Amino acid sequence: MKDKTNFSHYDGKVFNAENFKYINDPIAVIVDSIAILVGDYEPARKQAAMLLLKALLKDKFLKDLLKDIQNEKAERAKKSCEA
């Protein structure tokens, strides 16, 4: 049976807390989804991670997060070319 945790303190500029009730551990799902986007995984898994993030994070925060992920990937690629 799902725990009836109150996630109202998460509501604000970052989280879509109204969707948290559908997942047992939404914070862990967010962290895992970000790790999948950053890591070397197949496209279908990355798409699933993106859908989860769209459901759990506010649009503006998600957009900024994805920008940061892209910048980090670009920096890593640049460093690997220099080495």
pLDDT value of residue 1:
39
pLDDT for residue 2 is more than 80: no
pLDDT for residue 62 is more than 80: yes
Token pair 């940061």: residue: 68
- pLDDT range class, residue 7, cuts 50, 70, 90: low
Average predicted confidence (pLDDT) for the chain:
86
**Model confidence, pTM:** 0.78
Tokens of 66: 């994805």
Computed from CA positions of residues 58, 62, 63, 68, in that sequence, does the dihedral angle turn out positive or negative? Answer: positive
